[in-house]
Structures are given as structure tokens and as C-alpha cells.
């Protein structure tokens, strides 16, 4: 068991909200792996590369400098936290993230991030299945399609982009289909993941369940919580 909370699920399932809540209660940092795929996609688009070009995309994934800390993502020295949420990146990110070489590079960086931080809450699509199969806690979040579209639309309007619900819903469906059917590391719940539907569950309840499970699972992990009290 490694001191990681793995949170997977489709877009709009509430991963970021739940990840932040659990991280705060556990005093752990959060890694948003979707932001990493988005940042590489932004670099691909800015360099005028074709998102379908696996070689170009993987070279770019290897060459970019990426720093993620406290919800801020820095790409080659520039804060791109807002830009990576834009419509161009959202449209192309499933294509870029389907290339196995791009995934291999980012998975290596995700593991290095956890090594460096010692522990963390990591959210994405393949965290419990591929990146950290030994995670102390694995959660797979879902929500009804309507609810997920509604949440995404709210994110858009928070960023001052007004998009019709139907449009958000179509984009979301397209992306989820692409992410779930790609040959390499598709979006999926690990066999031992706790599957939670967030449509009607309170965030606080989900967070409490995760925190309890994490504390139980890491009681005897050398670097887990309580390690300093024990030694």
C-alpha cells in the first residue's frame, strides 16, 4: 500500500471538489493529472502540431517543463491554470491523451511527483487502475449525465464563458466516450475501487468516507499519517 488516494471518474463527476476536500482534511497535496494532459495539449496546439501526430505529441510531452503545486499549473515557466480550461484544449485533449507515449511520459511524472511529495491525493482517469494500483484508497466517482453537464456548464460560466447546456453535454459525452474506449488505460473503475454516485451525495459525506478509509489503510505504512507519532 502506498499513501495515495486515487480518485477517478468521468468529467463533471466531482473529482476536483472531492479531492480538494479530502486533501485538506488529511493535510496532503493534490495532483490533478487532467491538468497535466491539458497542459501538454496546450503546448501541442501552441506549437502548431497536429494532436493526432503521436510522435510530435510525445516529443512535446517529454520536452515541456511542468510544475503543479496548490492548483497552479506552470508550463515552461508560465502560469497556464486558466488557459488549459479553454475550449480549444478541451476539444483536443482526448486525442493527445490517447497516445501511449504521451501517457507513459506523464505517468512517469505522476509517480515522480508522489515520490517527491511522499503522499498525495491524485485525481484522473487511470490512477487506481494503472498509475497507482497500490493506492491506499481508490474511489471511482460518477454522477448522472444531466448533473455532470450542469456542473461543467457552471465551471464554464465561472470562467465567464456562456455555453448552452446541450452543447456542454455533447462535448462531455464525446470526451467520455473517447476516454472510455481508447485502447490504452481507458477510463475505468479498478476492481477494488469504491464506486460512489455523487448526484445526490453530499461532498462532506464522501470526503469523510475517504478520510476514514485512508487513515485505516495507512495505519501501518512507514510514511503514512501517524508515522511521526509512532516513532
**Which residue ranges make up the site for ligand DC (CB under 6 A)?**
11, 33-34, 37-38, 93-94, 97, 124-127, 175, 179
Q: Which is nearer to ligand DC, 38 or 138 (CB)?
A: 38
Least distance to ligand DC, CB of residue 114, Å: 13
Dig out the grid coordinates for 107 from the structure. Answer: 505517468
Is 122 in contact with 111 (CB distance < 8 Å)? no
Residue (of 133, 135, 41, 153) closest to 89 by Cα position: 41
Q: CB-wise, 105 or 179, nearer to ligand DC?
A: 179
Residue 49 or 227 with smaller CB distance to ligand DC: 49
Q: At its nearest, how many Å lie between ligand DC and the CB of residue 222?
A: 26
Please say which residue, 18 or 93, places its beta carbon nearer to ligand DC: 93
**Helix (H/G/I), strand (E/B), else coil: 218:** helix
User: Smallest gap, in angstroms, from Cβ of residue 81 to ligand DC?
Assistant: 12
The burial class, CB within 10 Å (0-12 / 13-18 / 19+), for 115 is: exposed
Fill in the DSSP letter of residue 55: H
Closer residue to ligand DC in complex, CB, 136/179: 179
- Judged on CB neighbours under 10 Å (0-12, 13-18, 19+), 37 is buried
Convert 20-53 into a string of H (helix), E (strand) and C (coil).
Answer: HHHHHHHCCCEEEHHHHHHHHHHHHHHCCCCCCC
Cell 473503475, residue? 189
| Least distance to ligand DC, CB of residue 48, Å | 21
Minimal distance in Å, beta carbon 78 to ligand DC?
Answer: 18
Residue 125 CB, shortest distance to ligand DC, in Å, is 4
State which residue, 156 or 179, has the beta carbon closest to ligand DC.
179
Phi-psi group of 118: left, alpha or beta (phi > 0 → left; psi -120 to 50 → alpha; rest → beta)? left
Cα 109 from chain centre: 13
Q: Which is nearer to ligand DC, 19 or 217 (CB)?
A: 19
CB of 91 to ligand DC, least distance (A): 10
Amino acid at each position: 500500500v502506498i499513501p495515495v488516494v486515487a480518485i477517478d471518474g468521468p468529467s463533471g463527476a466531482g473529482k476536483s471538489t472531492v479531492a480538494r476536500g479530502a486533501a485538506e482534511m488529511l493535510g496532503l497535496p493534490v495532483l490533478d493529472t487532467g491538468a497535466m494532459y491539458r497542459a501538454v495539449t496546450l503546448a501541442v496546439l501552441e506549437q502548431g502540431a497536429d494532436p493526432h501526430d503521436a510522435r510530435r505529441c510525445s516529443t512535446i510531452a517529454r520536452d515541456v517543463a511542468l510544475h503543479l503545486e496548490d492548483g497552479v499549473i506552470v508550463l515552461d515557466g508560465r502560469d497556464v491554470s486558466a488557459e488549459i480550461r479553454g475550449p480549444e484544449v478541451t476539444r483536443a485533449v482526448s486525442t493527445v491523451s490517447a497516445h501511449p507515449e504521451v501517457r507513459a511520459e506523464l505517468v512517469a511524472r505522476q509517480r515522480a511527483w508522489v515520490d517527491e511529495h511522499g503522499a498525495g491525493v491524485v485525481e484522473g482517469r487511470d490512477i487506481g487502475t494503472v498509475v497507482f494500483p497500490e493506492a491506499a484508497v481508490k474511489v471511482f466517482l460518477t454522477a448522472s449525465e444531466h448533473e455532470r453537464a450542469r456542473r461543467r456548464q457552471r465551471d464554464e460560466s465561472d470562467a465567464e464563458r456562456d455555453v448552452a447546456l446541450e452543447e456542454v453535454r455533447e462535448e462531455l459525452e464525446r470526451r467520455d466516450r473517447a476516454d472510455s474506449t481508447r485502447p490504452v488505460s481507458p477510463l475505468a473503475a479498478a476492481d477494488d475501487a469504491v464506486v460512489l454516485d455523487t448526484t445526490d451525495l453530499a461532498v462532506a459525506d464522501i470526503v469523510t468516507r475517504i478520510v476514514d478509509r485512508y487513515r485505516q489503510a495507512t495505519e501501518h505504512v512507514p510514511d503514512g499519517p501517524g508515522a511521526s507519532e509512532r516513532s
